[in-house]
Amino acid sequence: MALVRRLKLLPWKELLPVAALTTVVTLALDFLLFLGFEHLPPIHRMFQLLLSPGLGTLVVLGIGIAMGVLAVYALERLYQPILINAASLWALFFCVLLLVLCVRVLPLPGLILGQGSPVLFGVLLGIFWKGRPYCRGTSRCRRC
């Protein structure tokens, strides 16, 4: 019962729009990259190299990290009065996870969000890398 009560107290109403904004921005960039991949031969050759086996996993992981950093940055800027801690960062990850899984179900063209586990692992790394100051028990960044 205590776990359910603590889950209810998390700022879900603030986290879902942040996750949606992050997913929409990433989806738009992914779609633009896909258009360039399909219609511009130099970009097509560049992405064939970048998304080749081995290097492709690192590139997709890096894009996932950038997506996680963007999510925390948007949370910091859009909802400043809420308390950011490890629990809210985990909730943010689950919101992004839910929206990325919903996007993967839709038949949308793209190069990155359909890659699966490396993107989601990158999002997790990015959220907790950018949110590292908040996991130490402080509600504000020590650099601010």
List the pLDDT tens digit at each of the 144 positions of the chain. 787 788 888 888 889 999 999 999 998 988 888 888 888 888 888 888 887 888 888 888 999 999 999 999 999 998 777 788 888 999 999 999 999 888 888 887 776 776 678 888 999 999 999 988 887 754 454 443
Structure tokens at 48: 């064939």
Buried b (16+ CB within 10 A) or exposed e, 77-94: eebeebebbeebbbbbbe
What pLDDT does 137 receive?
Answer: 57
Tell me if 143 is assigned to some domain.
Answer: no
Question: Residue 84: which domain range?
Answer: 13-136
Tell me if 67 is assigned to some domain.
Answer: yes
**Kindly report the CA angle at 73 between 68 and 77, in degrees rounded to 5?**
150
**Kindly report the CA angle at 78 between 76 and 81, in degrees rounded to 5?**
70
- Counting the structural domains of the chain, the total is 1
- State how far the Cα of 67 lies from the Cα of 21, in Å rounded to an integer: 10
Tell me if 144 is assigned to some domain.
Answer: no
Q: Are 48 and 89 in contact (CB under 8 A)?
A: no
What pTM value is reported for the model?
A: 0.85
Structure tokens at 114: 């359909």
Tell me if 131 is assigned to some domain.
Answer: yes
